[in-house]
Each structure stands twice: as C-alpha cells, then as structure tokens.
Amino acid sequence: MAIIVQKYGGSSVADTDKVMAVARRVVDTVMEGYQVVVVVSAQGDTTDSLIQQARAISERPPKREMDMLLATGEQVSIALLAMAIDSLGQPVISLTGAQGGIMTDTQHMKARIREVDGARISAELRKGQVVIVAGFQGMTSTHDITTLGRGGSDTTAVAVAAALRADMCEIFTDVDGVYSADPRLVFDARRLNQVDYGEMLELASLGAMILQPRAVEVAAVYGVPIHVRSSFSRKPGTMIREVNAVEREISVTGVASDANCAKITLAGIPSNVNVLHNVFSALASEGVNVDMIVQAGTASPTADLTFTVTREDRQTALDTIAGLEGGQDWDVICDDDVAKVSIVGAGMMTNPGVAAKMFEALSAEEIPVFVVSTSEIKVSCLVPRSRHQDAVRVCHKKFELHAGK
C-alpha cells in the first residue's frame, strides 16, 4: 500500500477547530487508500511562549535544557491530534521524535538528523494505524532530546518519507505553494506548478520561508517528491521534484529575498588561507551559519574579507572574531542594514547574461549592490535594506516572472 507523509505546521493546528480539520483531512487520505504518517509542529505560538518562559528564568539557558523545554510543544500537538483522529474512529498512535526513531547529532537547538530508524513507525502502520510523529525533535545516541531548529518539522517529514520509501511528502502550509516572489512584496507574483530540488534549495535558503533548506537537501538526496500545498484548500500546490533539462523553458524561476542578514567585513587581514580557515572554523564551532563569503585583493599581503550571517548570530560572530589570535587588531565593520535579493533558476546554467540582466535592472533603479555571489542556479546581491522591496520588484519584472512557465 502506498505511503504518504503529511506535514502540518503550527498554524494548521493552532486551536481545537484546526486540529479537528487536520484530523478530517488525515482520515480522508486514509479513505483514499494510503497508509498515512503525519508530522506535526507545535501549536501556533507555543514555541515562542516557551522561549519567553525560559528567558524569564535565565538569559543564557543551557541549550540542552532549551531542547527539553521546546520538545514539549510538539508533544502536546501530537497527543491532541491523535485524540482528534481517534474521535473520528480511525486507529492512531502518536510518537515523540525519540519514539519515532529520529536519531540526531548532539548539537542542541540546531541538531541534524543522522538517521531515521523507521522500525516502530512501520510496525504501527502495519497494524492499520495512522502514525503521528512529532516534528522538529529527535534523540541523540545517549537518549537526550534535541531539536532541529526552526522549520525542523519539514526535515522530519522528508527524512521519515525517505526512511519509509514513501510515495510522497505533502507539506501543508498557510500559502498554496511556492511563488515566483514573495506575494506580499510583488503583487503579480505567480504560483509555480513545479520547482526543481536545486531551485527550491536556493529559494528556501534565500528566504522563501516555505521549506527548510535541510528538508529540500534530504528530499533531493533520496528523491522524495514534495508537494507544498495549502492547509485551507484542496487545490494542488507546487510539486518539488527532479525536473529534466528538456522540460525547462525559462532561465529564471523566481526571486527570493532575505532581510535577516548582517554583513561583516574584516579589513586589512593577512591574505593567507590559514586566516580564512581560522575565522570560519571558529565561527562553525560556535554554530554560526555563514552565508555569502567574498574576499578581494588576494595578491597583496592584506585583504578585505566580507561575509554575511543572520542578524541573531551577529553578536556571536563578532565575539568569536574578537577572541581569535590577532583578531583584536583587525578592522571589523558590521552592517546589518542590508538585505539579500536573489534570482534563482536551474535553466540559468545554460543561459549566459542572466547576471548582467539583473545588474541592469538594479542599476536602472539606482539600487546599490554591496556584495555579489553566484552559484550555478542563482545570483545574489546584497542591497540596502531600505531598497529590499524595490529590488525584488524590479527583478521580478525584468525577468517577466508574472507571465509564467
């Protein structure tokens, strides 16, 4: 029997009525002939409210204990959803991340799934039960509870789907799919029918906010098709899957943007690879995710190194650099009044001049570009935060994304 994994976010289970609506949708899916695994997040603002409780007690609560605290959010959701599904007469069982076999590394609050042991989930499915698994959480090899960080429920869903060789992973959300740009910024943004894994990865990591990048990575590795669709409608949303080159018609699929970034420049540092190694390994060991990295002037004895981090990680990054050998002597410039705007498209690889067209659009509107970084399927520009929306709009228009595939 075909297995389907459905993931419902926190807003989909925010209150009793919504929990019942999700329960009905799950039972409908069972009626369609599927074995159903449901991955669910904490209700509404639960996680934020737990974080506030922790902050009231300690400014720097131990991360292990934060995970112990936050994991209760999903545990409440899975229990309530199980009760709702049971009340509709459908056999059901809820499992915590640990019970569901979600094994992670030990990096509390940012843990990564190492492995999903699907034995228990499979056994419960064989009994004819719907299985609900707590998203966002897992267990280390020493039985400690971990959380995957914001949006981690997506990763749980995809990892479970991969472990069970599920036919489909459906991600239910409060939007009806992936758009060519944020519809709040661009009025004629268009819902995309399908997106390639690579494109989605760039869109997700660049701030499309619909799917956690790690979830897309896992889906790509295991070939799990993801269907991003609305909790509030039965219409199809956006399919994320491997798209053949021959199917591509246009070079740019969407415009993504991210206003949650801070730019840090280390001016006049010794230009050798050892310094780069020291800086970025120190940041990594503090759990700081570095995004864009640009270095200019490698021929001279000193160089300027610029990189971006999230605004939350800004202070940790600055403290880490100050703590490095010689770090006090560097000229460190931090600017968090910036935003990143990117054009994304798997067809870009075979289509030269895409970057030039983006710069032309930004230049025509006199939007300054501080940093540029490119990959095979995206071009990103760091612009002033005040020009963030303008930048997204002009790029969307320039590439005629409202017209569609």
- To a copy of itself, the closest distance from the beta carbon of 320 in angstroms equals 22
54 is a site residue for a copy of itself (CB under 8 A): yes
Token reading at 50:
């737990």
* CA trace torsion 42, 47, 48, 50 (10° rounding): 140
Q: Choose the stretch contacting a copy of itself; rule: CB under 8 A; options: 4-12, 14-22, 197-205, 210-218.
A: 14-22
Q: Choose the stretch contacting a copy of itself; rule: CB under 8 A; options: 54-62, 162-170, 238-246, 250-258.
A: 54-62
Q: How many CB atoms lie within 10 A of CB 292?
A: 18
Q: Choose the stretch contacting a copy of itself; rule: CB under 8 A; options: 77-85, 148-156, 315-323, 367-375.
A: 77-85
Binding residue for a copy of itself (CB under 8 A) from 4, 5, 98, 215? 98
| Residue 141: C-alpha distances to residues 30, 115, 293 (Å) | 33, 11, 34
Of residues 64 and 241, the one with the C-beta less far from a copy of itself: 64
Do 345 and 354 touch, CB atoms closer than 8 A? yes
- To a copy of itself, the closest distance from the beta carbon of 70 in angstroms equals 8
Alpha carbon distance, N-terminus to C-terminus of the chain = 34
How far, in Å, CA of 158 to CA of 205, rounded? 16
Binding residue for a copy of itself (CB under 8 A) from 47, 96, 257, 265? 96
Residues in Cβ contact with 279 at an 8 Å cutoff, skipping those fewer than 6 apart = 266, 305, 321, 324
| Residue 274: C-alpha distances to residues 138, 183, 269, 278, 327 (Å) | 36, 44, 11, 6, 13
326 is a site residue for a copy of itself (CB under 8 A): no
How far, in Å, CA of 97 to CA of 135, rounded? 7
79 is a site residue for a copy of itself (CB under 8 A): yes
Binding residue for a copy of itself (CB under 8 A) from 65, 217, 304, 336? 65
Judged by CB under 8 A, the number of residues near a copy of itself is 39
Q: Choose the stretch contacting a copy of itself; rule: CB under 8 A; options: 51-59, 255-263, 322-330, 336-344.
A: 51-59
Phi/psi for 127 (5° steps) reads -80, 5
Do 179 and 154 touch, CB atoms closer than 8 A? no
- How far, in whole angstroms, is CA 383 from its chain's centroid? 22
145 is a site residue for a copy of itself (CB under 8 A): yes
68 is a site residue for a copy of itself (CB under 8 A): yes
Of residues 63 and 357, the one with the C-beta less far from a copy of itself: 63
Q: Choose the stretch contacting a copy of itself; rule: CB under 8 A; options: 78-86, 109-117, 186-194, 335-343.
A: 78-86
How far, in Å, CA of 285 to CA of 321, rounded? 12
Token reading at 233:
């409608």
Of residues 96 and 104, the one with the C-beta less far from a copy of itself: 96
Token reading at 59:
């400014």
Of residues 77 and 342, the one with the C-beta less far from a copy of itself: 77
Residues in contact with a copy of itself by the rule CB under 8 A: 16, 19-20, 50, 53-54, 56-62, 64-66, 68-69, 71-72, 75-76, 78-80, 82-84, 86-87, 93-94, 96, 98-99, 120, 143-145
